[in-house]
A and B are shown apart, each in its own frame.
Chain A
Amino acid sequence: MKKNIIQSIGFGLITLCTMLTLFFLGSIIYFIVVRGIGVISWQFLTDVPRKAMTEGGVAPAILGTFYLTIGAILFALPLGLACAIYLNEYSPKGFVVNIIRMSINNLAGVPSVVFGLFGLALFVKFFKFGVSILSGSLTLGILALPIIISAAQEALMAVPQSLREASLALGATHWQTIKKIVLPHALPGILTGVILSIGRIAGETAPILFTAATFYARGLPRSIFSEVMVLPYHIYALMTEGTHPDKQTTIAYGCSLILLVLVLVVSTIAIVIRQKQRSANG
């Protein structure tokens, strides 16, 4: 039968597509793990770079990534949560809400390098924060805002309406209901969103190129106004700057592996938790 032959060919093709996808993505992970694993050692994780980036470790870059991520979350979480609470708990339906929704969607689609330009023009230049942890964190925070808002909104929506009604029926006010009933119930979902955005922020490079990152910093950052070494930027700089490409590539393998493991572990945790929650909520 002709139509069954076509079916076999079609199914064969889409199976091939899946295998190619897994092959490509798998080989990227494979190469980086295999070539990077030999570089990783206790010294590599805890030492500072030595001999013009050809020896030593990358501890300052790991620490810098940590600082920037924390800073960005500190900025984006309260803002994103407030926005989600407004949209889900207070919003009078209509024009205003549509505009806010639209701006969140569009903010999520802005290319990361444009966030970098924005951070450069506003935080570095206009507010005179300079190339610093503060500028970088704020820039990354704005980038993470849409992710946190949508995760928080999903978590708030999953809180059963009957809980709110029960609380209001007992005489609690609107804010008391939100604070004591809705937020505690939505907390795990909100945390998932935070973890998810940590995975995203930690790997972002373009927004911090001109707002926070430096290839070499003498010593660790002293204040939020110091520039920092950051893992993703370090990988880029090792590959494009400096005078010992061979030795630098080796170190870049190590950095890539650390970053890859960090991001994959974080997002695996978030996605697994989210899936459990979704199936629990039906």
Chain B
Amino acid sequence: MYKIKEKIYKWLFTLLAFSSLIFLLGIIILLFKESFPILKQVGLEGFIFGKNWYPTHGQPEFGILPIILGSLWVTTGAMLVCVPLGVGSALYIHELASNRQKAILKPMIEILASIPSVVFGFFGMAIAAPILQKAFHLPTGLCAFTASLILGIMAIPTICSLSEDALSCVPLSFREASLAVGANRWQTLVQVVIPAAGSGISTAIILGMSRAVGETMTVLMVAGGAAVIPHTFFEPVRPMTSTIAAEMGEAVMGSLHYNALFSIGLVLFIFTLVFNVIAEIVSRRFRLKLGLGR
């Protein structure tokens, strides 16, 4: 009697444990399935390198190069903000903060990481955009620059927490050895601790990047939304995520436009998948290097 019950439970848990895999496969299959018609129509090359995105014209054109470039501009800009600030803050918390400061700062950064993206988007739209428009005499405050700034600020807590984790994994003996041979604290930090934590910090940065590429509400509200290849940071752009979010509501289900938006989702998914796989490989190397095991 007991044996049967035990077996049933074991099989039940085994079955349910595969749910994540099933969902992941489901996402991949559905993205491919819904993208297929448009890729057949336009061709992969025409889709990715096409310069015109006019999905609703009489003669619709589905080229997503401006949209991919929009994502890359905004993500690059965001990285310029969040990498120095995030890693810098992590270094401060690790090296300079007193125990009391640490006890407050570490959980605080983690809590700040949970501020919803729509709140950042709202802040960008209602407060940051008008201020920046005035300060830089821009035609519109809703542009790649504002989006990068807000997105960057949003990613700081993630990068900071993960980098700090990496820094605190570096064995104390590394520091002690360096200080013992006469290096001062800064030299120890830059030449011993940071290189040792290097791949951990890189993982943090890559994960931050993956987050920034996939972030939707902030860019939807702040980036301006013009699907044109941008030439400067002060032009409105339309990244991948905001294109999907903005146009899905008006696309007719089953139309080519609908399929094209799924293909953008597929491209976006592949982008983040690549980032995540790289992050995983780098972080595994990091743990091996410091002898932490998996």
Q: Residues of A at under 8 Å CB distance from B?
A: 3-4, 6-7, 10-11, 13-18, 20-21, 24-25, 28-29, 31-32, 78-79, 82-83, 85-87, 89-91, 99-100, 102-107, 109-118, 120-122, 125, 142, 145-146, 149, 173-175, 199-200, 202-206, 209-210, 232-233, 235-236, 239-240, 249, 252-253, 256, 259-260, 263-264, 266-268, 271-272, 275
A117 and B244 contact, CB distance less than 8 A: yes
Q: A173-B6, A239-B221, A264-B115 are in contact. Are A103 and B21 (CB under 8 A)?
A: yes
B169 within 8 A of A: no
Contacts between the two chains (Cβ within 8 Å), count: 260
Q: Interface digits, B21-45 against A, CB 8 Å rule (1 contact, 0 not)?
A: 1011111001101100000000000
| New A-B pairs, 7, CB < 8 Å, besides A17-B85, A79-B19, A106-B24 | A14-B89, A18-B93, A82-B17, A106-B273, A235-B122, A253-B126, A267-B111
B57 within 8 A of A: no
A112 and B216 contact, CB distance less than 8 A: yes
Q: Residues of B at under 8 Å CB distance from A?
A: 2, 5-6, 9-10, 12-14, 16-21, 23-27, 30-31, 33-34, 84-89, 91-93, 95-96, 105, 107, 109-112, 114-123, 125-127, 153, 156-157, 160, 184-187, 189-190, 207, 210, 213-217, 220-221, 241, 244-245, 248-249, 253, 261-262, 265, 268-269, 272-273, 275-277, 280
Q: For the complex, give the distance between the alpha carbons of A114 and B126 in Å.
A: 27
B272 and A105 contact, CB distance less than 8 A: no
Contacts of A114 in B (CB 8 A): 27, 31, 214, 265, 268-269
* Distance between A51 CB and nearest chain B CB, rounded to angstroms: 21
Contacts of A21 in B (CB 8 A): 85-86, 88-89, 109, 156, 160
Task: Indicate which residue in A15, A28, A106, A115 contacts B119 across the interface (CB closer than 8 Å).
Answer: A28
Task: Indicate which residue in A14, A28, A104, A253 contacts B153 across the interface (CB closer than 8 Å).
Answer: A28
A90 and B13 contact, CB distance less than 8 A: yes
Q: A86-B17, A113-B268 are in contact. Are A18 and B10 (CB under 8 A)?
A: no
Contacts of A116 in B (CB 8 A): 244-245, 248
* Distance between A82 CB and nearest chain B CB, rounded to angstroms: 4
* Distance between B2 CB and nearest chain A CB, rounded to angstroms: 5
B217 and A205 contact, CB distance less than 8 A: yes
A145 and B20 contact, CB distance less than 8 A: yes
Kindly report which residue of chain A lies nearest to residue B17, judged by CB atoms: A86
Q: A86-B16, A100-B21 are in contact. Are A121 and B30 (CB under 8 A)?
A: yes
Q: A210-B249, A260-B119 are in contact. Are A174 and B269 (CB under 8 A)?
A: no
Q: For the complex, give the distance between the alpha carbons of A244 and B211 in Å.
A: 33
Task: Indicate which residue in A31, A83, A100 contacts B123 across the interface (CB closer than 8 Å).
Answer: A31
Could you say which of A107, A146, A272 has the most chain B C-beta atoms within 10 Å of its C-beta? A107
Q: For the complex, give the distance between the alpha carbons of A232 and B218 in Å.
A: 12
Task: Indicate which residue in A6, A14, A263 contacts B115 across the interface (CB closer than 8 Å).
Answer: A263
